[in-house]
Amino acid sequence: MNSILGIAINQYTDSRLDNLSNCLSDINEIVYILKQKYQFDDIELLTCGEQTSRKYLFNKLQEYLLNSLEDDNILIIYSGHGEYNEMIDTPYWLPSDSLSDDSSTWLSISDVLSFIKASKARHISLISDSCFSGAIVTDQMRGGGFNALNNKRSRLALTSGSIEKVSDGIKNDLSPFTKVLCKVLNENAENKLSFLSLSEKVILNFNQDRIQTPMFGHLPNAGHLGGSFIFELKEISNSNFDYEIENYSLDLNINVPINIEYNCQLPLFTKSKLFDYRIVNSSIQNIAFSIISDMRKYILEGREFMIDRSKGIAFQLDIWYEIKKINSKYLSLIINVYSYVGGPYPNNYTYSLNMLLSPERILNIRDVLKYADLQNELQVLFDKYNDYEIKGLLEDRHLEYINEENLAFALDDNTFFIYLNNHLPRVMFVYSYLEIPITDLKLKI
């Protein structure tokens, strides 16, 4: 199985460490090209604060690499700050909770290499866009032909520079290294491209006037036997769709013995003629990260109860999505969350993303409905389109105090949906929404 583990860190808790601008967009762009054009089966992205702490990254890399199988091929991509201790010749990645003056809070590459060495995976390749990343690699080795490269184990790395500072690039753009890497991946027409060849092409295409110097080679003392990760093109599709979507999952990663059945399916736009899919994907990820972060916090705060309670009955968390409308101007989708974590009742919540796509902008309900007194109009709509039981519950909850800015909503060509389950009491399982004919509304879009 070919898999990608992407790590992007833009924000740092220590104010002495400069926040970065482009790490998330860099990782997203690389991953989308790889998923769209090349044969990869699985993607995991670690980009939000708690998923990029030192403890989380250490445990995640250890679990990810040590649990791999002999036929696995793993590509790890890191974008964030890096450091180097010259006295002990050791490079580091800087997790989001790193302290600038305390190397014990950094993630030593020697730890990462020890996990890589112990891994059973056939190929493990590392792309690191960070300062001082060139200290990771040593001289490269080659086999003979693609079969030789594929059959021998490999532990290879491509870095954005040597033992030096590297550029993050212009804000809201890609880093200079990522631009060249994406250019090479996009323009490649060879059915099989070795990691070695990819690395050579990146270096040859990199602007020689820049101070930083990308490097590649094998990872020292990590089990390299002369092989190479092979990027294989997907079969050419004759699809005429204006966009393409792959499903992917985000890791819940509850590192306590809780019995929980977790299923997650989120959309990843890999291609679009209609809009900038990177902005859309980032918006979806922000919602998903918030959902998972809140769930992890809730579970871990009551861990003793959760551990004991889940022995008798498995907890459940399901996350799935539905695209209601998409065209060249507008995207409307919902993300549904069903959870049962040991309380007396299950929970069901709905989150929505409504975006104007030209230019890309997230919309709230006031941006879509054209009424001078929206609060009053919503009351009229609730009274008209609610069923009797839910209407009573809402009245008991004092509908006038519900902030319409937080209402989840969506629309398709015929119907406007307002989701009420986020505002209803948990004493009963509810998944309730209003269905309002578009013809009955005044819309701004």
> Could you give the number of structural domains in the chain?
3
- pLDDT above 80 for 157: yes
Pick the closest to residue 128 from 101, 166, 91, 157 (CA basis).
Answer: 157
Give me the pLDDT at residue 143, please.
42
Q: Are 52 and 289 in contact (CB under 8 A)?
A: no
**Domain boundary residue, one of 205, 232, 259:** 232
From CA 137, how far away is CA 160, in angstroms rounded?
12
Residues 432 and 287 in one domain: no
Residues 288 and 203 in one domain: no
Residues 352 and 389 in one domain: no
Residues 207 and 284 in one domain: no
* Residue 237 CA: distances (Å) to CA of 103, 182, 198, 241, 416: 48, 20, 23, 10, 34
Residues 273 and 156 in one domain: no
Whichever domain contains 153, its CATH number is: 3.40.50.1460
Q: Are strands 42-46 and 2-8 parallel, antiparallel or unpaired?
A: parallel
Give percent above pLDDT 70 in the chain. 86
What are 31-40's pLDDT values in tens digits? 888 887 898 8
* Residue 379 CA: distances (Å) to CA of 373, 399, 404, 433: 10, 8, 11, 14
Residue 303 dihedral angles phi and psi, to the nearest 5°:
-60, -40
Residues 153 and 28 in one domain: yes
Kindly indicate the confidence band of residue 244, based on its pLDDT and cuts at 50, 70 and 90. confident
**Domain boundary residue, one of 189, 212, 232:** 232
What are 273-283's pLDDT values in tens digits? 778 888 888 88
* Residue 391 CA: distances (Å) to CA of 67, 139, 199, 380, 395: 51, 70, 62, 12, 6
Residues 270 and 151 in one domain: no
Please tell me the pTM assigned to this model.
0.61
**Domain boundary residue, one of 322, 338, 362:** 362
- pLDDT above 80 for 66: yes
What are 166-204's pLDDT values in tens digits? 776 677 678 888 889 999 998 888 889 999 889 888 888
Neighbours of 394 (CB within 10 A): 19
Q: Are 45 and 78 in contact (CB under 8 A)?
A: no
- pLDDT above 70 for 236: no
Q: Are 253 and 60 in contact (CB under 8 A)?
A: yes
SS3 44: strand
Kindly indicate the confidence band of residue 270, based on its pLDDT and cuts at 50, 70 and 90. confident
Q: What own/partner pairs with CB < 8 Å and gap ≥ 24 does 331-338 have?
A: 331/275, 331/280, 331/355, 331/357, 332/410, 332/411, 332/412, 333/267, 333/284, 333/410, 334/408, 334/410, 334/417, 334/419, 335/266, 335/284, 335/287, 335/288, 335/291, 337/291
Domain that holds residue 13: 2-232
Residues 344 and 312 in one domain: yes
From CA 396, how far away is CA 284, in angstroms rounded?
33
Residues 159 and 260 in one domain: no
Residues 27 and 176 in one domain: yes
Whichever domain contains 308, its CATH number is: 3.30.565.40
Between residues 161 and 419, the one the model is more confident about: 419
Crossing angle for the helix pair 23-37 and 277-301, to the nearest 10 degrees? 110
Residues 69 and 187 in one domain: yes
Give me the pLDDT at residue 123, please.
93
From CA 82, how far away is CA 167, in angstroms rounded?
12
Lowest-confidence pick of 90-99, 148-157, 271-280, 359-368: 148-157
Pick the closest to residue 135 from 88, 176, 98, 167 (CA basis).
Answer: 88
Give me the pLDDT at residue 140, please.
43
Residues 211 and 68 in one domain: yes
